[in-house]
Structure 1
Amino acid sequence: MSIKVVVVDDDIMVREGMKIILSLDKEIEVIGTCSNGDEAFTFCQGNTVDVILMDIRMPICDGVLGTKKICSSYEKVKVLILTTFNDDEYIVEALKNGASGYLLKNIPPEEVIKAVKIVNEGNMLIHPSIAEKVPLLLKREEKKDFSKYNLQEIEIEIMRLIAEGYSNKEVSEKVFLSQGTVKNKITDILSRLNLRDRTQIAIFYLKNGK
């Protein structure tokens, strides 16, 4: 079964270009294009959508608000931000609103195809230059409530320290546990939350701590 994708961008050249690029892969089917977040939200009401490739700055309804509307109403739809804007505020808000990824338009076409497949599988994907910012962005956020995830306080603290860029050795010193115990805790966190690596722990901390 093909991955059903919608391309959302206010630039018709970008929309059509992305449609052509994605259509080169036989596992992907572009079922629609939209010029803003509201159009994408309306499109989801009458169609089965797997992944939305969403721009940020658009008239009427931008990508941040569009992501919030879509992700809060359609849990199975994955939103992948693809934009020219490496802006801290956009990054934080898009991820908080439920985006599964945030990429910049300077990546090669084959990387866009790969990204669509990755988020469709339920994984999160962040452009490398943006992933480096995550620890700093997290420090600006207010204390988060993870009660709904049934995590231990020590696990939340380990997640916070990982998000702020500390190594396992540094984490162990901060929480007064052996490195082996910290590694086991991290493994438990990854398994319980179905995450792949430390970067995804940091992203999860930002995205889900509401």
Structure 2
Amino acid sequence: MAEPGLRERKKQRVRAAISEAAITLFQESGFDGVTVAEIAAAAEVSKPTLFAYFPSKEDLVLHRFIDHEDEPARVVRGREPGVPPLAALRRNFLDGLDRRDPVTGLNDTPQVLVFHNLLYSTPALITRLTAYMLRAESALADALAEAAPGDEIAPLVAAAQIFGTQRVLGDRNVRDMRAGRGADDVHPEAAARAEAAFDLLERGLAPRFG
């Protein structure tokens, strides 16, 4: 993949500066206690510039998730020939755990812990995150439908189950991080939970609950 050009690197720096300024202010005063104007001033940009990078105040926090919105669908569409969609999604989640990807919840850096504390204490962010997840779920359902054409309901049910599973796994990892456990310490447990959860997806609920 080619390195980003000068213009793109500058945009990335501005975006990062705005996000960091927002998180710092939110940490100090809470999400509802900070205005967009205050964030723009702290990042030394205008309000129109801020909104060009982040369409809403909630996006200043949730862009870490929103930037991954189409990832599950891309994983399904980009899998190697002969690899089932669920196997590709399992591998992608386990790889995310290995990388300590914040989206998996298994990340104990201070910035990510601040993010999770903000997320779980702010109803407006939870509402926005739910909308993001529904869009991502719909995109995954479309990709699964392409992989198994002719079935209207199965891709929708599968996408809902996959997203529900990943949400449960991520929430458990976040709970461990917020309790003060280290990501390296939790990783073997998190990987084992993920393997067991994807096994349940692959085999269906009947053997366990039928």
TM-score tier, shorter chain, comes to under 0.3
Greater helix share, structure number: 2
Larger of the two Rg values belongs to structure: 2
TM-score normalised by L of structure 1: 0.27
Greater strand share, structure number: 1
Whose relative contact order is higher, 1 or 2, with alpha carbons under 8 Å and at least 6 apart? 2
